[in-house]
């Protein structure tokens, strides 16, 4: 193996950030912490994007691997044991200095530290612990820290790290046991799910412990997230979305991230992704994920054994609406909040605004527009004071034809990312604006 010792920092950063970039989670959200006046940094619950890379993704954290050496051999991963690549590792001091110096220039919100597995899971987790200890206690860093737990590390070291970080995540990698053992032979569901459960229990015991007074002694206050790779195996959208739903319900995850598969190793056992990574599919999953978390939809409503994959042309919410025309039209001046949420063109914010505004006075189509309702789509599904905006038919073919003339073709959806979904309250609005 080609291990570089004493490499200069620039080279190391190059290698170890390049190796970390396929991890999609980069948000700095979920925790608010004011600076106590004795150190550097604070946290904003909604997160802050500091820049956007050429692929349009938000850069919020210094996202690096501690080392790209690895004793495991996951077939989708560039750092797998069998690959002949340059290997290097940071020292805890180097990570501290980069984080502090980047932070005070306002390049970043904090650190996202992941790692290959050096010697053993415990050995690596301990290096990560030392790094965070220095950063938090010696440098008094109060910004955001997201750490990847290493599958197979002991519970007590995971716990120690948890008390120093804001978010912890452990990647599920693949939605089914079968695909996991095929592609990541050294990992299994147990070594992934048991730390996930431990972190969940740690977070919930936060709430009971009165001893925990100071904010930054809390255990993983911003919650935990995970990531699945999309399109490396034959698992369908229904399987993936059902797994996400379970993770939200049973493991209380804050976010599930989806990463469109890129065949970095040109491994012939895996799909070649020559037409580019399956971005539209990733996009649909983010849309559906959004519907699970904020729109009270369930996976079974959106997909089923018989219809296991998302519609290419319609986003999941529109698709659902078209298949349930019996729920419409919705009268906006009386419908309850949850019913409003199911109208294409009405998002979380606009639904809230409608509920607020109709207490003050009568709604009209022009006021709906001001509240951010995308009338172009909503008009087929609503009445306002008993009247339609234009005479339209509540008929599947008719609506689909009209919607499609407005909706970007899948090629154009390439220009959108999940990040936009979280910036705007309703991806319907977003889509229309993006294309105009």
Partner 1 sequence: MNIYICENTLDGLFSSIFQAYEDRHPHEDNKVISTPINNYELFANYIPVLTNAEYAQRVNRKLLNILDCTTYYQLCSAFLCESTIAFEISNSIYHTVVRCIDMAKSKTSTKNLMKDLTNPYISQIFKCSKRVMREADHLYGFTRFKELQNGILFARIHPENNLITILMDHFDNRFPLESFIIYDEPRDIAALHHPHCSSILLKHPSFDDEAICKYSEDENRFSQLWISFFNSITIESRTNPHLQQQMIPKRFWKDTIELT
Q: List residues near ligand SF4 by CB under 6 A.
A: 70, 72-74, 77, 79-80, 116-117, 184
Count of residues making up the chain = 436
* Closer CB to ligand SF4, 72 or 103, in the complex: 72
In 3D, which of 124, 130, 129 has the Cα closest to residue 151? 124
Helices then strands, counting H and E runs in the chain, come out as 18, 12
105 sits near partner 1 (criterion: CB under 8 A): yes
Residues 348-387 as x/- pattern, contact with partner 1 by CB under 8 A:
-----x--xx-xxxx-x--x--xx----------------
Please give the structure tokens belonging to residue 53. 């890379």
Q: Which member of 63, 146, 281, 284 binds partner 1 (CB under 8 A)?
A: 63
Q: Which among partner 1, ligand SF4, none contacts residue 98 (Cβ within 5 to 8 A by kind)?
A: partner 1
* Closer CB to partner 1, 279 or 400, in the complex: 279
CA–CA separation, 72 and 81 (whole Å): 6
Q: Which residue has the tokens 């971005």?
A: 279
Please state the closest distance from residue 73 (CB atom) to ligand SF4, in A. 6
CA–CA separation, 283 and 280 (whole Å): 5
Q: Which among ligand SF4, partner 1, none contacts residue 165 (Cβ within 5 to 8 A by kind)?
A: none
CB 202 within 8 A of CB 137: no
155 sits near partner 1 (criterion: CB under 8 A): no
* Closer CB to partner 1, 13 or 400, in the complex: 13
CB 379 within 8 A of CB 390: yes
CA–CA separation, 104 and 69 (whole Å): 30
CB 55 within 8 A of CB 157: no
CA–CA separation, 333 and 293 (whole Å): 25
Residues 35-54 as x/- pattern, contact with partner 1 by CB under 8 A:
x-xxxxxx-x---xxxxxxx
Residues that bind partner 1 (CB under 8 A): 9-10, 13-14, 17-18, 21-22, 34-35, 37-42, 44, 48-60, 62-63, 98, 101-102, 104-107, 109, 260, 262, 273, 276-277, 279, 353, 356-357, 359-362, 364, 367, 370-371, 414-417, 419-420, 434
């Amino acid at each position: 193996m080609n291990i570089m010792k004493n490499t200069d920092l620039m080279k190391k950063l190059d290698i170890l950030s390049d190796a970390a970039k396929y991890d999609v989670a980069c948000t700095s959200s979920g925790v608010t912490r004011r600076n106590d006046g004795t150190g550097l940094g604070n946290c904003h619950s909604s997160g802050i994007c500091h820049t956007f890379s050429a692929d349009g993704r938000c850069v919020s954290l210094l996202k690096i691997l501690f080392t790209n050496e690895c004793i495991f051999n996951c077939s989708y991963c560039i750092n797998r044991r069998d690959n002949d690549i340059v290997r290097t590792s940071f020292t805890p001091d180097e990570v501290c200095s980069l984080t502090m110096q980047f932070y005070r220039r306002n390049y970043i919100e904090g650190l996202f530290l992941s790692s290959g597995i050096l010697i053993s899971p415990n050995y690596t987790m301990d290096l990560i612990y030392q790094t965070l200890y220095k950063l938090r206690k010696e440098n008094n860093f109060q910004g955001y820290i997201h750490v990847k737990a290493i599958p197979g590390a002991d519970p007590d070291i995971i716990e120690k790290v948890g008390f120093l970080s804001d978010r912890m995540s452990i990647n599920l990698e693949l939605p089914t046991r079968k695909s996991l053992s095929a592609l990541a032979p050294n990992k299994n569901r147990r070594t992934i799910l048991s730390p996930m459960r431990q972190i969940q229990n740690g977070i919930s015991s936060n709430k009971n412990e009165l001893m925990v007074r100071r904010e930054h002694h809390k255990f993983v206050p911003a919650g935990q997230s995970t990531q699945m790779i999309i399109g490396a195996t034959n698992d369908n959208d229904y399987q993936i979305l059902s797994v996400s739903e379970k993770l939200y319900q049973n493991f209380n995850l804050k976010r599930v991230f989806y990463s469109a598969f890129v065949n970095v190793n040109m491994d012939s056992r895996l799909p070649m992704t020559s037409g580019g990574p399956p971005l539209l599919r990733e996009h649909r999953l983010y849309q559906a994920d959004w519907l699970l978390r904020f729109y009270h939809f369930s996976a079974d409503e959106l997909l089923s054994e018989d219809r296991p994959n998302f519609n290419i042309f319609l986003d999941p919410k529109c698709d659902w609406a078209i298949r349930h025309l019996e729920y419409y039209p919705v009268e906006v001046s009386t419908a309850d909040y949850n019913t409003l949420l199911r109208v294409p063109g009405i998002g979380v914010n606009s639904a809230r605004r409608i509920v607020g505004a109709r207490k003050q006075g009568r709604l009209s189509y022009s006021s709906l527009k001001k509240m951010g309702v995308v009338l172009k789509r909503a008009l087929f599904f609503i009445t306002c004071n008993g009247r339609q905006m234009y005479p339209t038919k509540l008929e599947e073919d008719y609506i689909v034809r009209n919607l499609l003339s407005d909706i970007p073709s899948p090629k154009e959806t390439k220009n959108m990312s999940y990040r936009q979904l979280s910036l705007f309250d309703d991806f319907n609005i977003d889509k229309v604006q993006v294309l105009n």
